[in-house]
Structure 1
Amino acid sequence: MCFTQRNILRRGPWFHSVYKAPNLQNRLPLRSLPKKLIVHDPRNVLAVHPLRSYKELHEVDWTNTKDVTHVYNMTLSADGRERIEEQSRRDKEQKVLEREKKRKGLIIQDIDQFEGPFDGSVVPPMTGNLHSPVEPPIFVVHDPPPELKVVEVAHLYIDPGQVKGRGNHSMVLCVELEVPRSLLVPDILCYECVMKDVKKTIIERDGEDGSRKDIKWKMKSGVRREAEGRQPVIWRNAMFPVDEHEVEWYISQPPAPRWSYRRPVRPIRTNVGWQNLERGPYCGHVTKRLHVEKGSEWSNKPPPPAPHPPIARVSLAAKPSKMWDPQLEHEARNYQSFPEYFYEHWSGYNVVGPQDDPVPVGALVPQFYGFYTPEGMVDNEVWDRSSYLSLIMLLLVENCVWQMKKDKMSVDEKYHYSPVFRYLFFNDLLTSLFFCFLLRSECASPFH
């Protein structure tokens, strides 16, 4: 595997370059979050002292500054450990339901010959009309997608010049997290490679002319039907019409036709596996789709460059606590106990009484990406005896906040966020007394 120079990540984060690391907004299960963080902190932001002031902190020149690293470990609460077990159980059940859905109505011959769990899909027949008998189509059997790997070690880059806000018990920094790309992007199963392998298997079994094809695969024992979908919608546009001739009618475009198949299928196992740069290079089809220039076909030429590194950089918001303040630990415990729907993103509007106007629907809290404590922490303290500084705890969340003051909030902004306060209050998640937070979420609410 080789990379072009422009694809190799440079030392330090991308804070001050043309390229900006994208914000991570996906919901990641707790079990897949990095177990250990190597925190790159040239200005020693995480090493605090009771008399230390942060006003002198400024942006870091990563090319000329000596790097300072700290080791942090992820800390889970009792609710977090239960959440991991619950997520694992729910994921297994979901995978079983998806497999059953794909095989619904299918009669898979000789299914016992396939060991272990497997996935598959029906190849649409190229001939035959809808609602008419057809020969059993091919059911491609392949391995299920690989399980999401647990990230043992990741790198976090802190730049004190990227302060997004300050609160009573912590401040918020824009940081960059470097993780394996497979944590964020699923593996690829190349359809072209699968069909090429299936065709090869069919020729080996049936012969070039199909003379050795079993009689049961020639019988028209299946039925191909068109699946029912959403019907076109007709509506009328009669905004201030002068007469009846100015009324316009519109018909929405119907969805693309879909088809379904019932009864017997012919299973064929493919040896093509899921592709990931961590296990080897992509095939030519995937490489072409990723718009990577091809290398020379001559064997004495170097191979074509890989389309991307096996690692990725994303932007997060980090909240380091103040010295001897347990508030951040309580906050992390809350993130691990919130229901899953608190983190879900939706589109549309809600009408939350007693207000009559609609407000946008979004996540109630930012995505949670782990609570980390310094390695060797005892009684909430880790001392660097050489400098008499104490390493503080760190909370990682979605980067969707910015500095804000109550007296500068518009009426619409207050109106938008008041239903969120009301919802959390009536669900016993807020007490009757609370501060007006200085940090607001772009996607949903001001809560951290």
Structure 2
Amino acid sequence: MPGPGDDPFERTHSGSLQQMFDKECDHQWIIDLYEKFTGKPLTRRKQGSTRIIARWWPRDPKGKMIRDVQAGKETPNSTHLWGQTLLDFFRFQRWPDQPHVMTTSTSSRLSRWMMENGESEHSKDDMEWAAREEEPKLKPGADMMEIIYARDLMVMMGLSGESMIPDNQDEQIKKSPVLPFDYSNYPDPWPLIPFSSKPPNLQSHIPFHLLPETLIVHDPFELLRGNARCRDLDDAWTSVEDIVHKYRLNLTVDSIRQTIDAERAKITEAAESAEPIMIGVLTKADSEFPPEVSSEISGIAYKLTVPPPPPPQKSTPEAHLYISPAQAIGRGNHSYVYRAEWDVPRSVFSNPKICTTCVTEAAVNILQVMNEKSEKAPLDLTPGTFIRLEKRTSRLTFSFVADATAPIDKDKQHTLEEATTLSYAEFTGPISTLHVDTVPWYDSASTDPPPCPHLWQEFVSGPLPGPVPPTTKVSVAAKLSMPGDAHLEREAINYQHFGSQFSQNWTGYTLAYPIQNPTPMNAITPVFYGYYSKEKSADASDSEYYSPILLLEDCGEQIDPEELDFDDRQECGALLLRLHYHGWTQGSYASRNILVQRGDPGDFPLMKSQQDRRFRLIDFGRAKSLKKAKEADLKRGDEKNTEADAWDLQRFNEKSEIGNVLCFEFPT
């Protein structure tokens, strides 16, 4: 018998689940199931495919034939089949009386069909499971300001970077505000010699309206002339005189320009109609808060409001880029790629913050003064949040099969039961609004320290020992073109047509046919950071060639298919199939155009795991759009699908190459 403090589910199911699948615990769906119910990690032994679909959806023996399954949850870069976990993918029978004819769908799609066609009673537990599935969530990159502050601390401690200012030069640190890129006024030890430190790899999106409009390119080795420099020469940055060029942001796709205009108009409108915002609640309950059991709570409460934050910036006028032959990371038939240092204003990554602790203290002081004037007893107010949770007890049954290719045997099911009781608290007293306007907003990009110690506690690095410059360097990939080649311009246009959705990371999994197993919902392409062309000067000769620059996220190194396990190979194949699903061909599908990086983009650099592999497709100079092909056919007016058929042939050929490129038997 379990003791009074034991969790009966923990005792009866967690251990048995581990034992039940001890021989197969390399399957990812088992790991998801075990961790969901126990909250404990399950040791993963990765042998073969681990992302199988192992659940089946029961049908009414007299039910209708399922012709079209209604739309379910999905993301902008998934296929139509998305699930929060592998347990949200199901095999099911389109014809209830033909158990050997199976197809695949997801819990959100199947539950909707069952609800609309009267079969919800035959799959109560699976319907309950589907109701609990969370919506897809966008996974942002790690907080760049946190990373920047940590790097600032290393620079100040002399552990990263080499200062341009000689050690024997006694230059006083200036405390006055400085404009971005006024390097002569930067605090010691900045500015740093380019490539003497290792700036963090930028993996966060920058909104299109904040991409720097002017790019000052430092190219002392003349790489912009379109020729790779011989590495036998001295490529130390201090060995040559700096050469500077001015480049302009070149965004030509109408939808991107419209997005920029709309976002800037939105900022202007929001600033003109800004109203106070609520940041928290003060409560004085007549009983314990929160309660141990479900109940109503009375007392008094105040919603705390503060003035709106300062409006965000509408544009980034300028940034600097440094390129060096020592940082070459790739060379193709049409381009060179370098790991570049990008010096941008810190404001690109910052968001204004306000100290909730200071706001709470100020609110309490205001109330105490009001209370003293009314000669009432002192108030004992505490910060709180009103919680209301539904009270519910549930039972869940899981039916699954070990072999995803075998016919369903309904006698071989495993059932797990979970009983969950949630209590609730509902505040019934009066709620007033208290406005606090004495606490300032703080911009984390400011060169000044925060106005209070509480905000420093939110940063990993803690207080910095000195001032910081208004800009920061990050690492990006700079792609340059060879003379007379138009691939780079076409690739830049394609990235603009992709928008931001192809480079987003989402929670969950997706299924990309004909691959039979779900793959993680990671990004398909690198993040696009702009396309820049050299500004013509009055004395420049038309015969002088200077390459345009395509700035992208640095996504690692090219894969070696022989070193990848089966899951990884399927994931790499799914990247191309997802691209096809959204109406694009890649044009050059080869292992050299698939990159792998270690660690999740959402993790702090020191926390990145070498076990986390993230893959991306690159090189879209030959990519083709089905939408463009159909528009070309329509414009021609001969009622033939010449361009669309050519696109589909290219898609078919690319899909056929997946098995050869990735060295595994691919289902066509």
- When normalised by structure 2's length, the TM-score is 0.50
| 8 Å Cα contact 1:143-1:273 kept in structure 2 | no
Correspondence for 1:333: 493
Correspondence for 1:272: 439
| 8 Å Cα contact 1:145-1:187 kept in structure 2 | yes
The residue matched to 1:328 in structure 2 has which SS? helix
State the Cα distance separating 1:170 from its structure 2 match. 1.1
**194-203 or 176-185: which moved more?**
194-203
The residue matched to 2:372 in structure 1 has which SS? coil
Q: Which amino acid aligns with 1:283?
A: P
Correspondence for 2:90: none
**4-13 or 141-150: which moved more?**
4-13
| 8 Å Cα contact 1:123-1:140 kept in structure 2 | no
Q: Return closer, same or farther for 1:173/1:127 CA change in 2, 3 Å cut-off.
A: same
Deviation string 1:11-34 (CA, Å, 9 cap, x unpaired) is: 3334x54xx221111111110111
The 2-side partners of 1:57 and 1:83 are apart by 46
Q: Return closer, same or farther for 1:261/1:184 CA change in 2, 3 Å cut-off.
A: farther
Higher strand share: 1
Higher helix share: 2
Q: Which amino acid aligns with 2:205?
A: R
| 8 Å Cα contact 2:202-2:474 kept in structure 1 | yes
Correspondence for 1:66: 241
Deviation string 1:229-279 (CA, Å, 9 cap, x unpaired) is: 99899999xxxxxxxxxx9x9989999989878974223132322212537
Deviation string 1:327-383 (CA, Å, 9 cap, x unpaired) is: 2111111111214421210244322222212322211211110111111289xxx95
Q: Which amino acid aligns with 2:618?
A: F
Q: Return closer, same or farther for 1:86/1:192 CA change in 2, 3 Å cut-off.
A: same
State the Cα distance separating 1:212 from its structure 2 match. 8.1
The residue matched to 1:325 in structure 2 has which SS? coil
Question: Out of 173, 190, 205, which is 1:9 matched to?
Answer: 190
Q: Which amino acid aligns with 2:504?
A: E
Which residues of 2 match residues 127-166 of structure 1 at below 5 A?
127-129=285-287, 131-144=296-309, 146-166=311-331
State the Cα distance separating 1:41 from its structure 2 match. 1.6
State the Cα distance separating 1:74 from its structure 2 match. 0.6
Which residues of 2 match residues 38-57 of structure 1 at below 5 A?
38-48=216-226, 52=227, 54-56=229-231
Question: Out of 12, 16, 21, which is 2:199 matched to?
Answer: 21
Residue 361 of structure 1 pairs with residue 521 of structure 2: yes
Q: Which amino acid aligns with 2:436?
A: R
Deviation string 1:81-127 (CA, Å, 9 cap, x unpaired) is: 0232354578899x89xxxxxxxxxxxxxxxxx98423222324143
Deviation string 1:147-181 (CA, Å, 9 cap, x unpaired) is: 14522111111121111111122121111111122
State the Cα distance separating 1:309 from its structure 2 match. 3.8
Question: Out of 201, 214, 221, which is 1:36 matched to?
Answer: 214
Residue 75 of structure 1 pairs with residue 280 of structure 2: no
Aligned length: 392
Deviation string 1:193-225 (CA, Å, 9 cap, x unpaired) is: 222332343344x15365389xxx9xxxxx955
**324-333 or 56-65: which moved more?**
56-65
Deviation string 1:407-427 (CA, Å, 9 cap, x unpaired) is: 988766543222222232343
Question: Out of 584, 595, 605, which is 1:441 matched to?
Answer: 595
Which residues of 2 match residues 297-312 of structure 1 at below 5 A?
305-306=465-466, 308-312=468-472
Which residues of 2 match residues 257-268 of structure 1 at below 5 A?
264-268=431-435
Residue 424 of structure 1 pairs with residue 602 of structure 2: no
Q: Which amino acid aligns with 1:422?
A: L
Question: Out of 94, 107, 118, which is 2:276 matched to?
Answer: 118
Q: Which amino acid aligns with 1:269?
A: V
Q: Return closer, same or farther for 1:60/1:210 CA change in 2, 3 Å cut-off.
A: farther
Deviation string 1:304-343 (CA, Å, 9 cap, x unpaired) is: 8347543222111110111122221111111112144212
Q: Return closer, same or farther for 1:281/1:329 CA change in 2, 3 Å cut-off.
A: same
Correspondence for 1:298: none
- Gaps in structure 2 of 5+ consecutive residues: 1-151, 159-187, 288-294, 380-384, 399-413, 597-613, 620-668
Which residues of 2 match residues 42-441 of structure 1 at below 5 A?
42-48=220-226, 52=227, 54-56=229-231, 60-79=235-254, 80-88=256-264, 116-129=274-287, 131-144=296-309, 146-204=311-369, 206-208=370-372, 210-211=374-375, 225-228=387-390, 264-276=431-443, 278=446, 280-285=448-453, 286-287=455-456, 290=459, 305-306=465-466, 308-376=468-536, 383=540, 389-403=544-558, 413-430=568-585, 434-436=588-590, 438-441=592-595
Q: Return closer, same or farther for 1:115/1:89 CA change in 2, 3 Å cut-off.
A: closer
- Gaps in structure 1 of 5+ consecutive residues: 97-113, 218-222, 237-246, 295-303
Output the aligned Cα RMSD.
4.4
Higher relative contact order (CA 8 A, sep 6+): 1
**392-401 or 5-14: which moved more?**
5-14
Q: Which amino acid aligns with 1:74?
A: L
The 1-side partners of 2:238 and 2:423 are apart by 53
Give the share of equivalent positions with the same residue, in percent.
26
